[in-house]
Amino acid sequence: MNTKSIAQNTMWMTVASVGQKIISFAYFTIIARSVGVENTGKYFFALSFTTIFVVFVDLGLTSVLVREGAKAKDKIQNYFSTVLAVKILLGFLTYLAAVAVINIMGYQFETRHLVYLSAVTMLFDSIHLSIYGMLRVFGDLRYEAVGTISSQLLTMVLGTVFIFFDLPLVFLIAAFTIPSFCNVCYSGIVLIKKYNISPLPRFDSVVFKFMFAIAVPFALTSIFTRVYGYIDSVILSKLAGDAAVGWYSIPYKITYAFQFIPFALTASLFPRFSEYFVYDRQKLARVFENAMKYLMLIVFPISIGIIVLARDVVMSVFTAQYANSVVPLQILMLSLIFAFLSAPITTLLNACNKQVTQMVIIGCVMCVNIASNLVLIPHLGVTGAAISALLGNFLIFFIGYFFVPKITSVSHVFLLKCLVQICISAVIMGLVVHMVGLRANFVVAIVVGAIFYCASIFVVRSVTKNDLLSMIKLIKS
């Protein structure tokens, strides 16, 4: 694949990711304002519950399919057919497991039926994930970008119509199921017409043994990450009720909306980290340091700005019924700082042959997160879940950073200097935003704060002209 193709694919996926996040957040806002706290909680719980299970349908096979298929395109049909056959079996077993668990947990009739349909969506999602993985092998991400945006738009249109006609809550899950099925059909047709690959399953035991052996570390990391990311909503639902999940869903969605930023950056850094680890450790350190600095520059004003304006944002966008979401939002926005800064660390470990270390870190943090949720939620409710998330993200950052010097010699002094300078600018910006927010709409406060922050980082020399040029160059690349 040439440089132009890589740039075009990056553009397509970046636009799709940003667009999908915007549409998803807008749609969730419509739901939260329309169906009330408890129904929002049921809806968010059903999606979170099945999202944990979906990882058991894939078990890292799509990642292996992409990696190995790119190496041996003559075997790609056999690889793909085997993966589909295995996924169909795993999907059937996982669906039964999800249904069994939700019944054993004793949830109400309506919640169980939301999970039943959401689990069907899970199966469709897993299938088109592998089909789009095939298109990635051939270096054409346009169709995935179009499918991602179109699917999210269709979900919002269908969901809005269902809300308008005041249909039962299960129809909001159907608004995901229908587009997911359409996505399977669309991606399958593209695969057949453009690359002449058959989407029919056919099991090959030799291929399965080869792929599964490679997939094990991918699978374990995916399972740990998925459980860590969504178990708080499940525990919150069981220990504190649907309303608590509804309140928690607001800060969760707001925080999640910003996480495409580190993902986009680290996607471009991963191959560079791998290359420099082998050929230039000094350059590896410099690139890592700059990545950390750039993410600090972005995340601190976002986090501090929303912490200051949390009440205005929640009350204005989601109405007063979500007042209990304010403090959890402030805590999760603090947690966002560690989520951003742990992204380059995670990427460095995975790119430099420390993927097992990363897997162990995520597994241990997952256990801590589950324990802290079980301890804190009965006493603090939604706030306890937010504190557990903050603790988890801090541990991923802190423990991961401990292993960074074992890979390359980074300048801790440089990073500390950047942290202090950027914190000063962000805190002063927060004070300005607070004062403006007392006298004007929070949107005006955000605009004024952004202008002030951009000016102050140059005044305190957090950013120089060379830094700005390097950042632009990184974005372009």
The whole-angstrom separation of Cα 363 and Cα 341 is 19
349 near 355, Cβ under 8 Å? yes
Instruction: Render pLDDT for 247-277 as a digit per residue (tens, 0 to 9).
Output: 999 999 999 888 878 876 776 676 678 778 8
Picking from 212, 230, 248, the residue at the C-terminal end of a domain is 230
Pair 280, 198 in one domain: no
Q: What is the per-residue pLDDT across 323-362, written as a single tens digit (0 to 9) for each?
A: 999 999 999 999 999 999 999 998 888 778 787 888 899 9
pLDDT in tens, 351-367: 787 878 888 999 999 99
Tell me, what's the pLDDT at 7? 53
Considering the domain architecture, whether residues 287 and 423 belong to the same structural domain is answered as yes
Q: Is the pLDDT of residue 3 over 50?
A: no
Quick count: other Cβ atoms within 10 Å of Cβ 365? 21
* Domain stop point among 230, 249, 271: 230
Q: Say yes or no to pLDDT of 153 above 90.
A: yes
Q: 197 and 294 in one domain? A: no
Torsion of CA 221, 227, 232, 235, to 10 degrees: -150
In a domain, 426, yes or no: yes
Q: Return phi, psi of residue 201, to 5°.
A: -75, 145
How far lies 333's CA from each of 32, 61, 104, 267, 454, in Å?
20, 33, 34, 23, 20
Indicate if 172 and 315 belong to the same structural domain: no
Return the pLDDT at 359. Answer: 85
**Distance set, CA 394 to CA 88, 341, 398 (Å):** 38, 10, 6
Alpha carbon 303 to its chain centroid, in Å, reads: 17
Determine, yes or no, domain membership for 315: yes
Best mean pLDDT range from 125-139, 315-329, 462-476: 315-329
Helices (H) and strands (E) in the chain, counts: 17, 0
> Is residue 161 a part of any domain in this protein?
yes
Q: Tell me how far apart the alpha carbons of residues 126 and 120 are, in angstroms, rounded to a whole number.
A: 10
Indicate if 440 and 344 belong to the same structural domain.
Answer: yes
Q: What is the mean pLDDT of the chain?
A: 87
CB under 8 Å to 142, separation ≥6 — which residues? 8, 9, 12
At 112, the pLDDT band (50, 70, 90 cuts) reads: very high
What average pLDDT does this structure show over 105-126? 91
CA distance 26 to 275: 39
At 445, which amino acid appears? A
Task: Give me the pLDDT at residue 405, please.
Answer: 92
Q: Alpha helices of 322-410 — where are they, by DSSP H?
A: 326-351, 355-380, 382-403
| Phi, psi of 198, deg, nearest 5 | -80, 130
Tell me: do 309 and 456 sit in the same domain: yes
On whether residue 457 sits in a domain, the answer given is yes
Residues 296, 298: Cα–Cα separation, whole Å? 5
Whether residues 266 and 135 fall in one domain: no
Q: What is the pLDDT of residue 454?
A: 84
316, part of any domain: yes
How far apart, in whole angstroms, are the C-alpha atoms of residue 137 and residue 129?
Answer: 13
Q: Is residue 284 part of a domain?
A: yes
Inside any domain, residue 85: yes
Give the residue-averaged pLDDT of 288-299: 90
Q: Answer yes or no: do 373 and 413 share one domain.
A: yes
Non-local (6+) Cβ contacts of 465 within 8 A are none
Is the same domain home to 74 and 22?
yes
Give the residue from 142, 344, 154, 199 showing the smallest Cα distance to 263: 344
pLDDT at residue 1 greater than cutoff 60: no
Quick one: average pLDDT of 379-394? 95
Same domain, 328 and 290: yes
- At residue 442, what is the residue type? F
Name the residue range of residue 24's domain. 1-230
Q: Is residue 100 part of a domain?
A: yes
Q: How far is CA 363 from CA 54, 222, 453, in A?
A: 18, 10, 37
The tokens describing 64, both together, are: 């292996």
Q: What is the pLDDT of residue 2?
A: 45
Q: Can you say how many angstroms the Cα of residue 105 is from the centroid of all Cα atoms in its chain?
A: 27
3-state secondary structure of 309: helix
Amino acid symbol at 303: S
Give the gyration radius of the chain's Cα atoms.
23
CA 286 to chain centre: 26
Q: Which amino acid is at 151?
A: S
- How many domains is the chain partitioned into structurally? 2
Nearest-5° Cα angle at 157, 155 to 163: 95
| One domain for residues 155 and 278 | no
pLDDT band at 199 (very low <50, low <70, confident <90, very high): confident
* One-letter identity of residue 284: L
Higher pLDDT, 175 or 59: 175
Are 129 and 58 contacting, i.e. CB atoms less than 8 angstroms apart?
yes
Q: Do 358 and 430 have their domain in common? A: yes
